Amino acid sequence: MEKLWYVVNTYSGHESKVKEKLEMRTESMGFQDFIFRIIVPEETVQETAKDGSIKEKKKKMFPGYILVEMTMTDEAWYIVRNTPGVTGFIGSSGKGAKPTPLLPQEIDRVLSNMGMTRMDVDTELSVGTKVTLVDGPFKGMTGVIDSLDLDNSRLNVLIDLFGQETPVEVELFQVSKI
């Protein structure tokens, strides 16, 4: 079973509390191998105060929702669903049906806005790693990582274009490890 990202509905304004409770339940029940990351999607926005000063503020991207990276087993599904403050999963028809995970492109865009990536860059990506492009003009093509720029979340991938090895600069969310 693979780990995928799911959207969990919570009471609005309780996202951080639900995240804490779910992390505590995961640890106390020994499910760290099934429930990996829990994220409250937030972005930093600049607001002008009444006195004219500009302040940075964290704003929830999706109020009432958290993202959970997990392996969907019956037990893990039960733990998340029955965490206080959780009202259900998005993408589930109810009636005991398991939810649909987010597509890689969907989660990559959300995580990249937060300065994160779905992949563990340190262990999964390195020069010479084979990847598939999942977004952009070269979508569906495979290549080999030529260089990494982790500070800017970019990498150069060598793809075979008309029989020639061609370097293409892409963002982290545009690739998937083979």
Per the CB < 8 A criterion, the answer to whether 138 and 178 are in contact is: no
More confident residue, 172 or 47: 47
Q: 122-177: what fold?
A: SH3 type barrels. (2.30.30)
Average pLDDT (9-15) is 94
Would you say residue 85 has pLDDT above 90? yes
pLDDT at 149 over 90: no
Is residue 51 predicted with pLDDT exceeding 60?
yes
The full set of domain ranges for the chain reads: 3-102, 122-177
Backbone angles phi, psi at 84, to 5 degrees: -55, 130
- CA angle in degrees (0–180, nearest 5) for 160-130-137: 50
User: Which CATH superfamily is 3-102 part of?
Assistant: NusG, N-terminal domain (3.30.70.940)
**How far is residue 121 from each of residues 33, 38, 89, 118, 147, measured CA to CA in Å?**
19, 18, 28, 9, 13
Summarize the confidence of residues 95-124 as an average pLDDT: 77
